[in-house]
Amino acid sequence: MTRGRALVGAGLALAVATPALGQAYQCTPPARIAPLPPVRPDGPVRRAPIAGYTLAVSWSPEFCRGDRDPASLQCSGRAGRFGFVLHGLWPEAANGPPPQWCALLPRPQPETIRSGLCATPVPGLIEHEWAKHGSCMAQSPEAYWGISRQLWARFRWPDADALSRRTSLTVGDLREAILLANPAANPVIPRAAIGVVVGRNGWLRELRICHNRAYRPEPCDRRRFGLPDGAPLKIWRGL
């Protein structure tokens, strides 16, 4: 049995995402994806037993603030306006650095890339995440992204546009908003499973939703948890 089938059979409830700047609910993927160059590894091959997973979720407006590519699917507005987007699913080791770059082949099929663009609106990133992370936990890009998108579909995301307008916003406010957006989550999301990553001057960059080997949310370690609840937070809404 593949990991993807095991996940489906585990009775995990999948939620439909809320549209309030959570994902691009109005997203229209392009009819055709241009061929992509092969991925080039940015580090060594590293194999290690998997002890858990990190669902990495990016805040798109912050990324797009520095992106000036008019052809960008994520930032040009051609495919919709994106809020929280799926960066990838990363296997974690029990001790030491995580596994990575276990294989570069097979490459994702064009339809695998196209079908995922409303969650991960960067074609090259879909192949990169498979090669760097997914190849260490699944036998194919399709299996890897099947698992990743099922985990992604569990979560509802808060209206970060509204959050950004609060005075004295804190990291804890964001964690609380995520919990309030997922009151009936199954399995339950512990507050400590929500890691928050900020960039320069405290602007929200990414979330890290920590999971155990059974794909159930669990408390993050210190590295992935990021800032404490009381830390100030800013959220870029875009132009």
Q: What would the DSSP string read from start to end of 133-166?
A: TGGGT-SSHHHHHHHHHHHHHH-----HHHHHTS
Q: d(Cα 9, Cα 3) in Å, to the nearest integer?
A: 10
In angstroms, rounded to a whole number, what is the distance separating the alpha carbons of residues 196 and 200? 13
Establish whether 133 is a catalytic residue: yes
**Separation CA 192–CA 212 (nearest Å):** 13
* Catalytic (active site) residue 87: yes
Q: Give the active site residue among 87, 128, 206, 211.
A: 87
C-beta neighbour count of 16 within 10 angstroms: 8
129 is catalytic: yes
Q: How far apart are CA 25 and CA 157, in angstroms?
A: 12
Nearest one of 147, 152, 215 to 5, comparing CA atoms: 147
Which entry of 129, 142, 206, 218 is annotated as an active-site residue?
A: 129
Question: Choosing from 62, 133, 211, 218, which is the catalytic residue?
Answer: 133
The tokens describing 217, both together, are 């949310």
CB atoms within 10 A of CB 94: 10
| Residues carrying an active site annotation | 87, 129, 133
